[in-house]
Amino acid sequence: MLIIFGGTFDPIHNGHLEIATKLYNTFNQDITLLPIGIPPYKTSPVTTPHQRLDMINLAIQSYPYLKVNTVELDSDEYSYTYKTINIIRRSVQPTTPILFIIGYDSFVTFDNWDNWRDILSFCHLVVVMRHGYVDDMLSRELKTFCQDKHTDDIKMLKNKPHGNIYKINFTPQDVSSTNIRHNIVHDDSYRKYLDGNVYKYIVMNNLYTKSLI
């Protein structure tokens, strides 16, 4: 089984690490962090790919079950999920289950993603539920698409390569990379949401200064 946890990680924070640890404890499987390269529909990350990768590597030093895949960082093309997951699918055995992690805040717009219907042909989706988000927020098309794909059976996910949706109820600490970027230079208390080495790296490299955000 391969579990992929994607994100901008600009910067990686303790909320990310909490989610990754919850996933590890749920599936008893290493978690692979997949930092996004060039987002097709969002503003580009504030820091460089090299800086984000440095921060990730610093943050996961004490987490032997966390790995990093740099397939998107190494590419000069836009990072479309369906393309990346297809690349990863072709790099493993056809029978290997792949779980792609997505927050419910992103899942409510899943049907706006490029070639979104194809993604479950390559992997399972593990949706991390978020406070304040409910199924009524899903479009009728997405609800219909999901109807026969939900499962609560972890054993099935481990024995089937792709095609299902699993919801995991977990609420990490209330912190976001956006808040950290906009506040760390003004409010030192935000350092508590970061790995100590990541915070030192940010300060040493003068990241997220007012002129950059």
CATH at residue 16 = 3.40.50.620
Q: Is residue 198 part of a domain?
A: no
Q: Is residue 165 part of a domain?
A: yes
How does pLDDT run along the chain (213 residues), one tens digit per residue? 999 999 999 999 999 999 999 999 999 999 999 999 998 877 888 899 999 999 999 999 999 999 999 999 999 999 999 999 999 999 999 999 999 999 888 899 999 999 999 999 999 999 998 777 667 788 999 999 999 999 999 999 999 999 999 999 887 777 778 888 877 766 667 788 999 999 999 989 989 875 444
Q: Read off the amino acid at residue 42.
A: K
Could you give the number of structural domains in the chain?
A: 1
Q: What is the pTM of this model?
A: 0.92
pLDDT at res. 58: 98
Q: Is residue 199 part of a domain?
A: no
pLDDT at res. 187: 65
pLDDT at res. 212: 44
Q: Is residue 53 part of a domain?
A: yes
Q: Is residue 213 part of a domain?
A: no
User: How far is Cα 129 from Cα 144, in angstroms, rounded to an integer?
Assistant: 19
Two tokens, residue 41: 């529909």
Q: Which domain holds residue 30?
A: 2-175
Q: Is residue 48 part of a domain?
A: yes
3-class SS string, 33-83: EEECCECCCCCCCCCCHHHHHHHHHHHCCCCCCEEECCCCCCCCCECCHHH
Two tokens, residue 135: 């199924």
Q: Read off the amino acid at residue 84.
A: T
| 77 C-beta neighbours (distance < 10 Å), count | 10
pLDDT at res. 213: 41
Region of 193 (left: φ > 0; alpha: ψ -120 to 50; beta: rest) is alpha
Q: Is residue 166 part of a domain?
A: yes
* Contacts of 168-173 spanning 24+ positions with Cβ under 8 A: 168/22, 168/23, 168/26, 168/126, 168/127, 168/128, 168/129, 169/129, 170/19, 170/22, 170/128, 170/129, 171/129, 171/130, 171/131, 172/14, 172/15, 172/18, 172/19, 172/22, 173/14, 173/15, 173/18
